[in-house]
Amino acid sequence: MLHATIAGLGRGSARDRPRGARRGGRRQTKVHALNSGNPGFLWTVLSFLLVIGPLIFIHELGHYLVGRWFGVKAEVFSIGFGRELAGWTDRRGTRWKLCWLPLGGYVKFAGDMNPASQPSAEWLALPPEERARTFQAKPVWQRFLIVAAGPVTNFLLAILIFCGFLMAYGEPRTPAVIAAIEPGSAAAAAGLRPGDRITAIDGSAIGRFEDIANYVVLRPGERLRISYQRDGRAGETVAVAKAAVERDNFGNQFKRGKLGVGPGARVLEPVSIGGALSGGVRMTGQIVSTTVEGLEQIITGRRSVKELGGPLKIAKFSGEQASLGILAFLWFVAVISINLGFINLLPIPMLDGGHLLLYAIEGVRRKPLRPEAQEWAFRTGLAALLALMVFVTLNDLASFGLLTKLGGLID
């Protein structure tokens, strides 16, 4: 099974971070002052490895543990692709290895002898007791769970990280009441006033002030239908979110929708363990939703493809977030873990989602697709992944200005 790490979408909104983890929060003011420039190359590479290496390991460990639970022998557990740099073989016969290209990883189960996981002559020749320990011998529902375990583990890691933030700092639950309106803003043009309580935007319920920013930020220049309460009466208006270009301390620009409303005193409420877990699940779901909507906007042309990032951009952001301190770095790890899980669930052959789709078809048909059809699907999926990898890499290089510089040298 192949698991590529190629996306950098959905970095998350800083507005929904606990105060201690915010870029402008008191706990990191000194860090900002010391790190207003870009981190060095070695720091960036080290930070990237500290992000992507553990996340790939966690992902593959999910496959490995569920496979062991169902009695499947793992022959290889690899972090990275290509030539082996270091490794060892445990007493169960699993080869654990680290390879030179750390952009993915895989677990090779016994019996998983080709991309389509189809029986081969070699598999059929195995003794019955040994064949029973192979991946292909297991029923389709067990194979489905083994493959799904990787992305699920990435989501669980993010939930636990968010849970830790919520336990440490509390959960933002600022009332959705407007305390201030920016002159000339979208809210002012729409007739909103201080004291109005926003109850819904485009039919989506607003329970706290933080929900307003989370919804508006992805919709620059779009018409928003805002429901509110004023003096006990319900009202509705339409606002066009202004497109604001924000720049962080590292020179990165982000296009965000802006309504122009401000809250009263921000509220952070302590939460129980159960509340923190449910909050972690909700925050993970919000980032997945943000990623899906961001992709949809890129596909439909509402957002530039320049915002689609690959490994190079992930590396750049890794170094930047690590330079801001452990809290910002952990938040970034959680967001990238969600992206890794999400990307691998896409129904593209060669990714986990492609395997899951084929297993779902097999479960409905009570038999797998013909080997020729599966082989064709996996070849197509591999070509699509390679094309996407080339595209996002060129996109990253263009965002760094390297292609322009190279063009100038050629001229």
Domain ranges of the chain: 3-170+306-410, 174-266
Confidence (pLDDT) at 409: 46
- In tens digits, the chain (411 residues) has pLDDT values of 433 333 333 333 333 444 444 433 333 333 333 444 678 889 999 999 999 999 999 999 999 999 999 999 999 999 988 899 999 999 999 999 999 888 788 999 987 655 555 666 676 677 778 888 888 889 999 999 999 999 999 999 999 999 999 999 999 999 999 999 999 999 999 999 999 999 999 999 999 999 999 999 989 999 999 999 999 999 999 999 999 888 888 878 888 999 999 998 899 999 999 999 999 999 999 999 988 988 888 888 777 777 777 888 888 899 999 999 999 999 999 999 999 999 999 998 888 998 899 899 989 988 888 877 888 888 888 888 888 888 888 877 877 766 555 554 444
130-146: string of b/e by CB count within 10 Å (b at 16+)? Answer: ebebbbbbbebebbbbb
The secondary structure of the chain in percent helix, strand, coil, rounded to multiples of 5, reads 50, 20, 30
Confidence (pLDDT) at 382: 82
Catalytic, out of 60, 171, 307, 320: 60
**Which residues share a beta bridge with 227?**
200, 236
Residue 67's alpha-carbon distances to 77, 126, 133, 356, in angstroms, are 12, 19, 10, 15
Residue 221's alpha-carbon distances to 14, 84, 239, 267, 306, in angstroms, are 21, 50, 10, 29, 18
Kindly tell me the number of DSSP H helices and DSSP E strands found in the chain: 13, 13
Say how far residue 96 (Cα) sits from the centre of its chain: 26
CB 136 within 8 A of CB 130: no
- CB-hemisphere CA count at 13 Å for 68? 13
**Which residue spans within 90-248 are E strands per DSSP?**
95-109, 171-172, 180-181, 197-201, 204-205, 223-230, 233-240, 242-247
- The first and second tokens of residue 283, run together, are 């925050």
Confidence (pLDDT) at 366: 87
Confidence (pLDDT) at 117: 57
Confidence (pLDDT) at 40: 85
Bridge-based pairing state of the strands 261-262 and 95-109: unpaired
> Residue 137's closest CA among 126, 150, 152, 151?
126
CATH class of segment(s) 174-266: mainly beta
**Which residue spans within 331-398 are E strands per DSSP?**
none
- The first and second tokens of residue 369, run together, are 């697709």
Side chain identity at residue 254, one-letter code: F
> Residue 70's closest CA among 127, 133, 147, 3?
133
Active site residue 60: yes
Confidence (pLDDT) at 3: 37
Q: What is the pTM of this model?
A: 0.84
The CA-CA-CA angle for residues 102, 107, 108, to 5°, reads: 125
Stated as kind and residue range, the H or E segment containing 68 is: helix 41-69
